[in-house]
Amino acid sequence: MTFAGFMELALYHPELGYYRRDAARVGYGSGTDFYTASTSGAVFGELVAAACVALLGGPGAAAGHAFVEIGAEPGGGVLAGVSHPFATAGTVRLGEPLELTGRLVVFSNELFDAQPLRRFVRRGDAWRELGVELRGGDGDGEGGSLREVELPPVMEPWLPADAPEGYVFDAPRAAAELAAAIATQPWTGLFVAFDYGKSLAELATATAIGTARAYFKHTQSNDLLARPGEQDLTGHVCWDWLAAALTDGGFDRPEVESQEAFFIHHAGEFLAKAMAAEAGRLSQRKLSLMQLLHPSHLGQKFQVLHARR
């Protein structure tokens, strides 16, 4: 099968998929595999709320919108326990129907990077899609092993016209399709997505071995076929494709900012008060703020795509 098909099964199989397991995945505790901005606690939700309120034009405007988080981890969304002016705050879990209507803030945190990737490798003057093959074992696959294989040449309009021999292009097409599905729903308001990604030009020229990787117990690996269903698989989103999906859906001037810049530009008043309150001590809250904003931590690692309709 294609790598995208394998990644879909490994992450979302209804019984065996990584994101279907009833287990803690995010955080610093035993058994977790990675951490996100939400690991910083309530301060991340407070920053998100403050920025969204500012982008909507103030608390009065925000009160007319419901806040919907797509792909929230079990146990509560980003606004759980956070005071906010939105009409309501709810979540849509992975696998639940996507029904967006009315005036909304549609928010996600590392949703798009967890969508299946199509992987391609340059051979001569053609691109070959990468697939996964089961070798050996009995009729049910027991005792066999997985290996990467090259499938026949393919042509797609968005594949780079040229690339050096062996260049790997990881195409986050499912992420773009999800953005289009969100944008075609009958809702108005604010779209905000936190994730990590690159421009199409960067993916086509500056990531020679691709961006796909695995995370298991906070260790990054390039062994994408190990532990199917037990490790996270992820890759960079293409901001150009996501922004184009929003534009096609009628959103006005989608913008990508670093996480640091997004919070400074749109939650500056909240940040000033929070830092002033913590100025005389090295509290956990101050450490969380530093982790979210500092360029060497999450401030530059993550970006934010936002737009209004």
pLDDT number for residue 87: 97
Residue 96, domain extent: 33-117+174-196+236-308
Domain tally, the chain: 1
Q: Is residue 178 part of a domain?
A: yes
CATH number, position 188: 3.40.50.12710
Q: Are 106 and 130 in contact (CB under 8 A)?
A: no
Instruction: Write down the residue that tokens 């003057």 correspond to.
Output: 125
Q: Are 274 and 289 in contact (CB under 8 A)?
A: yes
Helix (H, G, I), strand (E, B) or coil at 103: strand
Q: Is residue 298 part of a domain?
A: yes
Q: Are 89 and 66 in contact (CB under 8 A)?
A: yes
pLDDT number for residue 33: 47
Cα 234–235–236 angle (5° rounding)? 140
| β-strand pairing of 252-258 with 303-308 | antiparallel
Q: Is residue 159 part of a domain?
A: no
Q: Is residue 3 part of a domain?
A: no
pLDDT number for residue 26: 63
Q: Is residue 102 part of a domain?
A: yes
Q: Is residue 146 part of a domain?
A: no
Q: Is residue 46 part of a domain?
A: yes
Neighbour tally for 3: CB within 10 Å: 26
Helices H / strands E in the chain, number of each: 10, 15
Q: Give the Cα separation of 260 and 309 in Å (integer).
A: 24
Q: Please list the pLDDT of the chain residue by residue as tens digits (309 residues).
A: 999 999 999 999 999 998 887 766 565 566 664 555 555 578 999 999 999 999 999 999 999 999 999 988 766 789 998 999 999 999 998 778 899 999 999 999 999 999 999 999 999 999 999 999 998 876 666 778 999 999 999 999 999 999 999 999 999 999 999 999 999 999 999 999 999 999 999 999 999 999 999 998 878 999 999 999 999 999 999 999 999 999 999 999 999 999 999 999 999 998 888 878 777 777 777 787 787 886 666 657 899 999 999
The phi and psi torsions of 138 (rounded to 5 degrees) equal: -85, -170
| β-strand pairing of 168-171 with 118-123 | antiparallel
Name the pTM for this structure.
Answer: 0.91
Instruction: Write down the residue that tokens 């097409």 correspond to.
Output: 173
Q: Are 163 and 209 in contact (CB under 8 A)?
A: no
Q: Is residue 211 part of a domain?
A: no
- SS3 string, 228-281, reads CCCCEEECCEEHHHHHHHHHHCCCEEEEEEEHHHHHHHHCHHHHHHHHHHCCCC
